Amino acid sequence: MTSAPAVALICGSRSDLPALQGCIEQLDAYQIGWEASVISAHRQPEALRAYVAEAEAAGTRIFIAAAGLAAHLPGVVASLTQLPVIGIPLDAGGLGGQDALLAIVQMPPGVPVATVAVGGARNAAHLAARILALGDAAVAERVAAFRREQAGRAELRIQPRVER
C-alpha cells in the first residue's frame, strides 16, 4: 500500500526533464521520496491512465505534472485521481509558457490543479511539502526550518551612521 514514494513527478516529454531539476533538488532537501516518469497525455493516454492508477494504489500522496504547449498532462492526471495534483507550466515554445500556464490553470470546477508559475518547479516541491506536512511532523519541521533559514537570508538591517 505504501511502496511508492510520496510524490510522483510526471512530465510530458523527455525534453521537459531538465525543467524538473529544481523540484527534485527541493524534494531531496525535504527528504521527501519521489519518482519521475515521462508519459505524454496526448501520445500515451492509456499508459498515463494505468500509471496514475498504479501509483495511487501503491501509496503515492501527490502528483506533480509538468508540461509545455497545450499542456493537458496535469489536468488529465487530475481527472484520473482524487489525490492533489500540482501543475508546472513549462516554456516550450514561442509563447513563453503563457500557453501552458493558461491550459493548466483553467480547470473546470471539481477538477483542480494547483498551478505554480511558468518554470516554477521549486515551488511545486515547496507546495507538496506543505501538503505532506499536514500529516507528517518531520516534514512540517523541515518546512519550518527552511522558512527560518530563508527569512535569515532575506534579513538586512541598515543602521544610521552616528555622527561624532
Between helix 21-29 and helix 121-133 the angle, nearest 10°, is 30
List the strands of the sheet with 85-90, edge to edge.
34-38, 7-11, 62-68, 85-90, 114-115
| Choice between 105 and 143, CB closer to ligand RP5 | 105
Q: Is 115 in the site for ligand RP5 (CB under 6 A)?
A: no
| Choice between 118 and 129, CB closer to ligand RP5 | 118
Query: To the nearest whole angstrom, how small is the minimum distance from the Cβ of residue 43 to ligand RP5?
Result: 8
2 residue type, one letter: T
Q: Is 92 in the site for ligand RP5 (CB under 6 A)?
A: yes
Q: Is 15 in the site for ligand RP5 (CB under 6 A)?
A: yes
Which residues 38-77 are close enough to bind ligand RP5 by CB under 6 A?
40, 67-69
Q: Is 13 in the site for ligand RP5 (CB under 6 A)?
A: yes
Q: What angle do CA 141, 142, 143 make, to 5 degrees?
A: 90
Q: Is 12 in the site for ligand RP5 (CB under 6 A)?
A: yes
Cα dihedral sign, 101-65-116-56: positive
Residues lying near ligand RP5 in the complex (CB under 6 A): 12-13, 15-16, 40, 67-69, 90, 92
